[in-house]
C-alpha cells in the first residue's frame, strides 16, 4: 500500500527546512533546491505542496509565528491565571515568560534570527510584510498583557503608563535579541537575563 502523507504535516516539515536554511545560511540561501535538500525531498515534492517560492516563504513565516506564539502564550496563561501566586512567584514566572523571547539556547537563538531575517526581507517583499508584522504584534501583545496583569495584581505602580512601558520593554527584548545573535560573546545568556531583571526592577520602583 502507498504511504499516506498528511499534507499539513509535510508542509510543516518543509517549513522546518526553510527555518534551518535561513537560520544558518541566510534568507538568500532559501531556494527551492536548498530547501528540498534540507527536507530530504525531491524539488518536485516541494512544488506539490507550494505553488511557488512566495507561498513557501509566507507559510514559513506563519509557521514561525504559530510555534513561537503557542509556546509563549502557554507561559503567559500560566502567569496570568496564577492569581494565588505570591509576588515572588509572579516575578519569577514573568522572567521565565520574557526569557522565551530571548536567544538563551539554540532553539530561541534560531527563532530570533528568523524573526529579524523575515522582518528585513519584508521591507522589499510586500507579500511577507503582513505576516512579519503579525509576529512583532504577538510579541508586543504578550509584553502588554504581562505588564497589565502585573499592574492589576499590585506588582507595578497603579499610575505606570503601561502602553508606553510595553513599547519600551518590547524594544529592550528585541534589541537584546538582535545584539546577542550578532555578538554572542559580548551578550551571553546570563547578561541578557540580568538586563531584563534590572529593567523589571526599574518598573517596580517607578513612581
CATH number of the domain that 21 lies in? 1.10.10.60
| pLDDT, position 158 | 92
Residues 129 and 174 in one domain: yes
Q: Which three cell numbers stand for residue 202?
A: 526599574
| pLDDT, the chain, mean | 91
Residues 71 and 135 in one domain: yes
Catalogue the E-assigned strands of 5-102: none
CATH number at residue 103: 1.10.357.10
Lowest mean pLDDT among 15-19, 58-62, 69-73, 111-115: 69-73
Q: How far apart are CA 112 and CA 179, in angstroms?
A: 10
Compute the average pLDDT of residues 59-69: 93
Q: Which three cell numbers stand for residue 179?
A: 545584539
Q: Other CB atoms closer than 10 Å to residue 125's CB: what's the count?
A: 15
pLDDT in tens, 144-199: 999 998 898 888 999 999 999 999 999 999 999 999 999 999 999 999 999 999 99
In the predicted model, is pLDDT for residue 22 greater than 90? Answer: yes
Q: Which domain holds residue 44?
A: 1-50
Place of cell 508584522: 133
User: In whole angstroms, what separates CA 49 from the centre of its chain?
Assistant: 25
Q: How far apart are CA 21 and CA 206, in angstroms?
A: 44
Q: How far apart are CA 126 and CA 148, in angstroms?
A: 33
Residues 200 and 115 in one domain: yes
Compute the average pLDDT of residues 102-131: 94
Residues 109 and 185 in one domain: yes
Helix axes 87-99, 189-205, angle to 10 degrees: 130
User: What is the pLDDT confidence band of residue 205, given thresholds at 50, 70 and 90?
Assistant: confident
| pLDDT, position 78 | 74
Amino acid at each position: 500500500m502507498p504511504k499516506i502523507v498528511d499534507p499539513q504535516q509535510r508542509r510543516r516539515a518543509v517549513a522546518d527546512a526553510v527555518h534551518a536554511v535561513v537560520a544558518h545560511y541566510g534568507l538568500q540561501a532559501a531556494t527551492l533546491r536548498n530547501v528540498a535538500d534540507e527536507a530530504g525531498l525531491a524539488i518536485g515534492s516541494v512544488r506539490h505542496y507550494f505553488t511557488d517560492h512566495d507561498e513557501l516563504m509566507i507559510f514559513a513565516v506563519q509557521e514561525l509565528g504559530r510555534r513561537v506564539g503557542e509556546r509563549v502564550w502557554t507561559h503567559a496563561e500560566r502567569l496570568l491565571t496564577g492569581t494565588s501566586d505570591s509576588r515572588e512567584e509572579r516575578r519569577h514566572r514573568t522572567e521565565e515568560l520574557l526569557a522565551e523571547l530571548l536567544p538563551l539556547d539554540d532553539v530561541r537563538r534560531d527563532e530570533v534570527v528568523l524573526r529579524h531575517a523575515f522582518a528585513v526581507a519584508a521591507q522589499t517583499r510586500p507579500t511577507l510584510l503582513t505576516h512579519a508584522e503579525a509576529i512583532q504584534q504577538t510579541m508586543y501583545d504578550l509584553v502588554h498583557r504581562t505588564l497589565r496583569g502585573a499592574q492589576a495584581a499590585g506588582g507595578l505602580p497603579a499610575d505606570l503608563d503601561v502602553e508606553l512601558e510595553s513599547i519600551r520593554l518590547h524594544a529592550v527584548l528585541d534589541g537584546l535579541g538582535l545584539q546577542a545573535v550578532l555578538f554572542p560573546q559580548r551578550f551571553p545568556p546570563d547578561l541578557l537575563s540580568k538586563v531584563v531583571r534590572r529593567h523589571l526592577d526599574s518598573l517596580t520602583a517607578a513612581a
